[in-house]
Amino acid sequence: MELIRDSVIKSLYDFPGKDDRLISELNQIISIHGRQAYSVILHVLTHLELEPLKAEECWNRMLTHRKSLSDTLGRDISLRTAICDYFQSIDRSLKNPIVIEIHIFEATANSSKFDSLTGLYSRGFFDSALEREIARARRSKSDLSILFFDLDNFKDVNDAYGHLAGDMVLRSVSRVIREETRSEDTPARFGGEEIVLILPETGKVQALVSGERIRKKIEALKMKHDKQPITMTVSGGLATYPIDARDPVKLMQCADNALYNAKRSGKNNIAFYSKDKRHSSRIDFTTEIKIRGINFDDLKDVTGIGKNISITGMRFESTNPLEMGSKVQLQIPVSSKEAPVTVIGSVVRVEKIKDGQYDISVSFFDIEKTTVDKLNKLFPES
* CATH number assigned to the domain comprising residue 297: 2.40.10.220
Q: How confident is the model at residue 146 (pLDDT cuts 50, 70, 90)?
A: very high
Mean per-residue pLDDT of the chain = 87
57 falls within a domain: yes
228-230 vs 223-225, strand pairing mode: antiparallel
Among 224, 242, 272, residue at a domain's last position: 272
Based on the fold, state whether residues 256 and 312 are members of the same structural domain.
Answer: no
Does 247 reside within a domain? yes
Indicate whether 382 belongs to any domain. no
List for the chain the helix, strand, coil content (%; round to 5): 45, 25, 30
Which residues have C-beta within 8 Å of that of residue 30, sequence separation ≥ 6?
37, 38, 41
Count of alpha carbons within 13 angstroms of residue 331, beta-carbon side = 11
Which residue, of 54, 87, 112, is where some domain finishes?
112
268-293 exposure pattern, b = at least 16 Cβ within 10 A, e = fewer: bbbbbbbeeeeeeebeebeeebebbb
Q: Are residues 9 and 78 both part of a single domain?
A: yes
Q: 37 Cβ partners below 8 Å, 6+ apart?
A: 4, 8, 29, 30
Q: Say whether both 104 and 118 belong to one domain.
A: no
Question: Per the confidence metrics, is the pTM higher than 0.85?
Answer: no
Tell whether 262 and 292 lie within a shared domain.
no
Clarify whether residues 49 and 119 are in a common domain: no
The DSSP output letter for 121 is B
195-236 pLDDT, tens digit per residue, is 999 999 998 878 888 998 999 999 999 999 988 999 999 999
Residue ending a domain, among 272, 300, 320, is: 272
| Residue 172 DSSP SS3 | helix
| In a shared domain, residues 264 and 321 | no
Segment 163-188, tens digit of pLDDT: 999 999 999 999 999 999 988 899 99
Tell me: do 147 and 39 sit in the same domain.
no
DSSP E strands, 214-268: 223-225, 228-230, 234-241
User: Do 170 and 263 lie in a common domain?
Assistant: yes
338 and 194 both lie in a single domain: no
> Which of 135, 273, 302, 132 has its CA nearest to residue 204?
273
pLDDT for the residue numbered 243:
87
Contact between residue 375 and residue 332 where contact means Cβ atoms under 8 Å apart: yes
pLDDT above 70 coverage of the chain, percent: 90
Residue 187 lies in a domain: yes
pLDDT in tens, 243-294: 889 999 999 999 999 999 889 878 998 888 876 544 456 788 889 999 988 7
Residues 216 and 118 placed together within one structural domain of the fold? yes
Length of the chain: 382
**Domain interval for residue 95:** 2-112
In eight-state DSSP terms, residue 311 is S
Number of domains in the chain: 3
Closest Cα partner for 174 from 149, 155, 202?
149
Query: Do 253 and 309 belong to one domain?
Result: no
pLDDT for 67 beyond 90: yes
